[in-house]
Amino acid sequence: MTPPRSYRAEAIVLRRTELGEADRVVTFFTAEYGKLKAVAKGVRKPKSKLAGLVELFTHSTLQIARGRGLDVLSQGEVIHPFLPLKTDLARSSCAFYVAELVSRFTVEHQENVDLFDILLGTMVELCETRKSDLLLRRFEMQLLQCMGYRPNLYHCTACNAQLKPTTNAFSPSGGGVLCPACAGADPAARGISVNSIKVLRLLQDGDWATALRVNIEEHLAGELEHVLRVYVEYLLERRVQSATWMDKVRSEVRKAVPPDLPQPSQGKGRADTAAAH
């Protein structure tokens, strides 16, 4: 039986690169086929009907034609344009991070509908949430679990002893927490506080409502982010490129001055710090 010439897919745009004069190669994550690449022809021309479909993070249903080389996007319909992810700098920087992680953790044509739902759910909430930090932590935990890297947060990954409410250590290579007695066994393991473990457990158990009620001050948020970033980068064996941008945007938001108090002399200092990173 010959496969059909064209197929339908529900997709979210993860990446795209320019091809030739006006085309793009677009990497989608789809509900039906996992990650896949397709050529979108003429989409850099203003009158293109496909341009909106291949903009980053857009959620749509697509009709794709099988090609001899790459498949070709023929038509589609936008479900969610996710405009806040395109026009709000902080949300946009988080969306880049989410899309990069999904792209890096997956291979093409490996169906994973759970991951599609995680990605879609994260993008939907990212448009509105006031707690994007916590949302990203939930996303990382869901992604890790879905890809088979669920961290062990209840027992020491070395001696299997139940973890006590004290400062333990997180071991990326061990895939979970080490008790204080075993912490020395992994030189890469770093201290993890009781509160961090508590929040991670809530996220792991899917108790999002309780997690949202927890008052996570800046220090704890930083620790949670660090623990998961180190684990993710250990698993990927590489840096997450868009994390650098996300960090930079966040530090710009923090030091942003009210727009009605412009001081050109201050500008120089700001510019220098921005360039120095």
Sole binder of Zn ion in the list 64, 119, 141, 156 (CB under 5 A): 156
The whole-angstrom separation of Cα 106 and Cα 124 is 21
Report the 10 Å Cβ neighbour count for 117.
13
Beta-sheet pairing, 176-178 with 168-171 = antiparallel
The whole-angstrom separation of Cα 263 and Cα 15 is 38
Q: Does 235 bind another protein (CB under 8 A)?
A: no
When CB distances are held under 5 to 8 angstroms depending on the partner's kind, the choice from another protein, Zn ion, none that residue 195 binds is none
Q: Does 249 bind another protein (CB under 8 A)?
A: yes
Cβ atoms of 208 and 118 within 8 Å: the answer is no
- If residue 25 lies in a helix (H) or strand (E), which one and from where to where? strand 23-30
Sole binder of another protein in the list 86, 150, 201, 229 (CB under 8 A): 86
Total residues interacting with another protein, rule: CB under 8 A: 53
The whole-angstrom separation of Cα 232 and Cα 248 is 19
| CA neighbours closer than 13 Å in the CB half-sphere of residue 246 | 20
Q: How far is the CB of 158 from Zn ion (least distance, A)?
A: 4
230-259 CB burial, b ≥16 within 10 A, e <16: bbbeebeeeebebbebbeebeeeeeeeeee
Q: How far is the CB of 172 from Zn ion (least distance, A)?
A: 16
Binders in 90-149 for another protein, by CB under 8 A: 92-93, 96-97, 99-100, 103
Which residue lies nearer to another protein by CB, 140 or 223? 140
When CB distances are held under 5 to 8 angstroms depending on the partner's kind, the choice from another protein, Zn ion, none that residue 75 binds is none
Which residue lies nearer to another protein by CB, 62 or 158? 62
Q: Which stretch binds Zn ion (CB under 5 A): 33-41, 104-112, 171-179, 250-258?
A: 171-179
| CA neighbours closer than 13 Å in the CB half-sphere of residue 35 | 15
Q: Does 179 bind Zn ion (CB under 5 A)?
A: yes
Sole binder of Zn ion in the list 158, 189, 199, 216 (CB under 5 A): 158
Scan for tokens 């299997």, then name that residue: 160
Residues that bind another protein in the complex, under the rule CB under 8 A: 15, 20-22, 43-48, 51-52, 54-57, 68-69, 81, 85-89, 92-93, 96-97, 99-100, 103, 241-242, 244-246, 248-249, 252, 256-257, 259, 262-264, 266-268, 270-271, 274-275, 277
